[in-house]
Structure formats: structure tokens, C-alpha cells
Amino acid sequence: MKRGIDTLIPVLGDQLSLGLSALRDADPDTSVILMMEVEEEATYVRHHKKKIAFLFAAMRHHAQALRDAGWEVDYIRLDAPENSDSLTGEVARAIERHRPARIIATEAGEWRLRHAMELWPDKFGVPVEIREDDRFIASHAEFDAWADGRKQLRMEFFYREMRRKTGLLLTERGEPEGGQWNFDKENRKPAARDLTMPQPLSFAPDALTQEVIALVADRFADNPGTLDGFDFAVTAQDAERQRAHFLRYALPQFGDYQDAMLTDVPFLWHSLLSPYINCGLLDPLDLCRRVEASYRAGHTPLNAAEGFIRQIIGWREYVRGIYWREGPDYTARNFLQAKRPLPAFYWTGQTDMHCMAQAIGQTLQNAYAHHIQRLMVTGNFALLIGADPADVQRWYLEVYADAYEWVEAPNVLGMSQFGDGGLLGSKPYASSGAYIDRMSDYCGHCRYDVKARTGPKACPFNALYWDFLVRNREKLGSNQRLAMPYRNWDRMDADTQRALQAQAKAFLAGLDEG
């Protein structure tokens, strides 16, 4: 039997964890949890249809899990007639309904919502307690303590701190297992087609999810991507099944083939867990402990276990730290002053460049592409053509089921587009077609010739790569890690240089004409 409502606890779409900080020590008898599907969140960028369907379906199932755990949940569906379409509007309406004495929330994952929540106490005249999101391994204070006073914020050193903090893959003497912190050099094998690859699990939508899919098909018909074949896990239990499946069948070879790409093989040995980790269905530290246990049980080699754990307690935590430390204007940076709009084929996949058609086509189909497709294919191309980083960020935020600004922006603006001038990466991830050829079978299926630099069949990445370096020499010329390519350029004869630049210019003009 409910006593009066004392506490209103808004739970956002990426806070789908039973152990969320806002719920800790709250009394289910005097609290009500508010969950909201609102137009504002679904439309601030044009999210992939599968991304919206995944999040709404996961939210609806999480509401059920909370109720099963004894909580009262006030759930506002997108099509509820009085839905005010904004989070703040829905909190205001919930205050009218429940008259709580206070609000407790877990901090939002991005600046836009953080600012909105900061206005709540004045707006509502109710005390608002915002708690830190402790599903991350490093607190804001810990990241700042690590970063303060350092000239360069390199992921590798932060990662070692996180290894020490968690004790993951350390010997009893506190040293890294295998005598080194990082086995990345062993993780660069191209994959061969005849290897038996694991298939990810597929989760058939239940009635609740089907309802959401119909809603999204109706309300977001013009958004990118397709709903066909929707098979995401939408409960913690199913996300745990995908985790167990990955640990058993894919993790042992995750390291070796982490950077590989194959035609029509979208997932390879990747975990596909990022949407579940990022919305709260899986706990990142728990996942890493299971990976470590798999290594200690002799099921997973060290290069795979270390490689995977580094992505989570290293890269994932590090980009989050950078996002909050650099402030809300981080996303507006444009070190290279790149201005070209993103070509229209990013929304269709219709291009003769086979690597791009594969990466974009799979993205539109699955709301997923793996790291190297994002970084070295679509990201690399956008960087080479000088695409506006704001446009590029918007695209990545729209099309991936795991995309939230805190993780997308540093990866796109910092790592991929060098828009922060080298805060996150020591050099731009720019490359000619040779890298794609080495790590994939794409070039064998392409109408372009990856070995040719000029002429009608020349791989566009080749001339664009040199043009990128020449165009940005003032800003990049003193970067020690680019000294070799600039030397190579200077050694080319003038005719070759002219031909490469003319090739790039003609290609870019073709892009601009559409």
C-alpha cells in the first residue's frame, strides 16, 4: 500500500540499469519512477529507425523489469495524447500528478540535457538532487585528477590507471599479465573468408517490441535506415545472452581480427554489445571481469582479452572523460576548417566505392558498423574530402544504435576528423586505399583500382590522401608523425604532384556537383 509520494525519479532512455544511482537507497513505497518517450529526444537528430525502435522497446521492457522489482513506474508513451513532447514538460506534468517533495535523478549523459536539468529546481520549485552516474569506472573527479597538469592526454596512460584501479589483468604483484600493458600489435590480422565465423544471436521481437516497431514505422517513416530484420536484444536477460554468446564463440579471436573487414560480413568477431552497454542493460565492469575470467580459465588468449578490456576501460572511459572535461563547445571545434557538406550517398550507400557502399549499406541495414569501418572507411573518407565535422558528427549520431553524444563526439570529432587539433589523437587517421586493401577484401570487388593513383580507374582514396596532406600542410606540416608522408610528397616529381592534385580536384568537383 502506497504512502504519499515523496520522491520522483526520472529515468532517461540510457539509464536502463536496476542499480542506477538515483534508485539506490530510494524507498519504493514512497517513490515513483518516471519514464518518458518524448518527441524532442527522438527528433533532435534524425535517428536511424532501428535506433529509435531499440531504445523505446528497451525502455518499455525496463519499465516492466522495474515494476517486477517492486517500483511504481509512471510511463509516458510517445503516442500518449497529452504528451508534451519534451522531458522538462513531462517532468512538470508528473509533478502535477504526484506532488513529490523532491526529485532525484542520475546525471544526464550529454551537455544538452545536463543544462536542461540544471534549470529544474527553479522551474519546478522542488529540490532536485542530481547524482553522479557511477556506471562508469572513472568518476569525473578521477578523470580530472589524472588529466590535470598533463601536456598530452594519451589514452594509453589513462588505461594503465584504469587497469590499476580495477585490478583487471594484473598479476599478484600488480604487474600487467604477459609483461606488457598492450598487445595491439598482435591484433592487426586481415581475415580470410573460409574461417568459420560466429553468427550473432538474433532476438525475435515480442508483442511489446512489435508495437514499438509499428509506432516507429508510422511516426519516423522518413528517418534513415530500415526496420527490416529488427532483432536487437531489448531486455537485460537477452543482452546477457548476447554477451555469453560473444564470450564463448567470438572473443577468443576478437583480438586477431579486430581490424579486419570482409564483404557482406558485417559483424566478424565483434561483440555487438555497445548499444546494450551504453543504454545500461549491461554493466561494463562486470563484462570486463567476465572477459578476464575467460582468459584465466584458458578459453581466451591474452591478446584478445586485453584488447577487449582496453576498449572498455580504456577507450570508452577515456572518450567520456574528454567529452565532459572539454565542455559543451567541444563539438563545435573545426581545427582543419573543413566545410564540405557530407555527400548524399552517406544516406543511401549508392557509390561505386565498394568499401564505402559496404560500410554505409551495413550501417543503414543494421544501425551498426564496426570500429575500423567507422574510422578507416567512412570517417577516413569524410576527413580526406574535408567534410564539415559538424555534419559528420550528426551523421554518426543519427545512424548508430550505440550513438550518444558523450561517446560519439570524441570518436568522430577528435579521433576521426582531427577537429580538436590533436587533443585525442596524435595524428589524423588519414590513409590512402592501401590500408583498406590490406585489412579487407573490398578492393577486389571494386570498380576502382587500389594500386592506381591517377586516371579514370584510380582509387579515389589515393589522390585524396595526398591532396589532404598538401591542403592542410600549414596545420599539419610540423606534426612529427606525418614527417614521413610529407617527405615522400616532397620527393615526388612535379608532374606526379600536379597529376595527383588534379585527380583529387576533379573528384571533389564531382562530389560538389552531386
Ligand X SMILES: Cc1cc2nc3c(=O)[nH]c(=O)nc-3n(C[C@H](O)[C@H](O)[C@H](O)COP(=O)(O)OP(=O)(O)OC[C@H]3O[C@@H](n4cnc5c(N)ncnc54)[C@H](O)[C@@H]3O)c2cc1C
Query: Which stretches of the chain bind ligand X, using CB under 6 A?
Result: 270-274, 277-278, 308, 311-312, 315-316, 319, 370-371, 374-375, 379, 396, 400, 402-403, 407-408, 411-412, 415-416
Minimum Å gap between C-beta 312 and ligand X is 5
**Distance, CA of 167 to CA of 141 (rounded, Å):** 20
- Residue 402's binding partner out of ligand SF4, ligand X, none, with CB under 5 to 8 Å set by partner kind: ligand X
Select 291 or 355, whichever has its Cβ closest to ligand SF4: 355
Cβ 416 to ligand X, closest distance in Å? 4
We find the least distance from the C-beta atom of residue 455 to ligand SF4, in angstroms, to be 13
Taking the complex as a whole, the smallest distance from the CB of residue 442 to ligand SF4 amounts, in Å, to 4
Considering only residues 452 to 491 of the shown chain, the ones binding ligand SF4 according to CB under 6 A are 459-461
**Judged by CB under 6 A, which stretch of 107-115, 192-200, 283-291, 351-359 contacts ligand SF4?**
351-359
Longest Cα–Cα distance in the chain: 85
**How far is residue 58's CA from residue 235's CA, in Å, rounded to a whole number?**
6
Cβ distance to ligand SF4 smaller for residue 275 or 460: 460
In the chain, the amino acid numbered 75 is Y
Q: Is 446 in the site for ligand SF4 (CB under 6 A)?
A: yes
Q: φ and ψ at 474, to 5 degrees?
A: -60, -40
**Minimum CB–partner distance for residue 264 and ligand X (Å):** 17
Among 313, 450, 469, 482, binds ligand SF4 (CB under 6 A): 450
Closer by beta carbon to ligand X, 103 or else 287: 287
Q: Residue 368 interacts with ligand SF4 (CB under 6 A)?
A: no
Pick the stretch among 201-209, 308-316, 415-423, 434-442 that binds ligand SF4 (CB under 6 A).
Answer: 434-442
Q: Nearest approach, Cβ of 492 to ligand X (angstroms)? A: 30
Torsion of CA 312, 315, 316, 320, to 10 degrees: 150
Exposure class string for 457-495: b at 16+ Cβ within 10 A, else e: ebbbbbbbbbbbbbbbeeebeebeebeebbeebeeeeee
Q: Which cell goes with 69?
A: 522489482
Report in angstroms the alpha-carbon separations of 467 from 87, 283, 494, 505.
Answer: 46, 44, 14, 8
Rule CB under 6 A: choose which of 252, 255, 266, 433 binds ligand SF4: 433
The Cα–Cα gap between 395 and 393 comes to 5
According to CB under 6 A, which one of 169, 213, 273, 355 is a site residue for ligand SF4? 355
Q: Is 261 in the site for ligand SF4 (CB under 6 A)?
A: no
Q: Which is nearer to ligand X, 330 or 400 (CB)?
A: 400
Give backbone dihedrals phi and psi of 118, rounded to 5 degrees, phi first. -65, -25
CA atoms of 458 and 453, how far apart (whole Å): 5
Q: Which does 371 bind (CB under 5 to 8 A by kind): ligand X, ligand SF4, none?
A: ligand X
Give 2 or 457: the residue with its C-beta nearer to ligand SF4: 457
Residue 105 interacting entry, from ligand SF4, ligand X, none, C-beta within 5 to 8 Å by type: none
3-state SS string for 345-409: HHHCCCCCCHHHHHHHHHHHHHCCCCHHHHHHHHHHHHHHHCECHHHHHHHHHHHCCCCCHHHHH
Classify 167 in phi/psi space as left (phi over 0), alpha (psi -120 to 50) or beta: left
Contact 234, 203 (CB under 8 A): yes
Residue (159 or 220) nearer to ligand X, CB = 159
Range in contact with ligand SF4 (rule: CB under 6 A) among 34-42, 62-70, 430-438, 478-486: 430-438
| Binding residues with ligand SF4: total (CB under 6 A) | 14
Contact partner at residue 312 from ligand X, ligand SF4, none, CB < 5 to 8 Å by partner kind: ligand X
Q: Name which of 142 and 211 has its Cβ closer to ligand X.
A: 142
Tell the smallest beta-carbon distance from residue 332 to ligand SF4 (Å).
Answer: 31
CA distances from 80 to 37, 44, 54, 280 (A): 9, 19, 19, 25
DSSP letters, 38-60, are -HHHHHTTT--HHHHHHHHHHHH
Q: Check if the beta carbon of residue 396 is closer than 8 Å to that of residue 402.
A: no
From 233, 353, 409, 482, residue interacting with ligand SF4 (rule: CB under 6 A): 353
Grid cell of 369 as nine digits: 558498423
Residues of span 213-242 touching ligand SF4 by CB under 6 A: none
Count other C-beta atoms under 10 Å from residue 361's C-beta.
17
> Phi and psi (nearest 5°) for 213?
-60, -40
Quick one: how far is CA 188 from the chain centroid?
A: 21
Closest separation between CB of residue 307 and ligand X, Å? 9
| Number of Cβ atoms within 10 Å of the Cβ of 203 | 17
381 binds ligand SF4 (CB under 6 A): no
Q: Which residues bind ligand SF4 (CB under 6 A)?
A: 353-355, 433, 436-437, 442-443, 446, 448, 450, 459-461
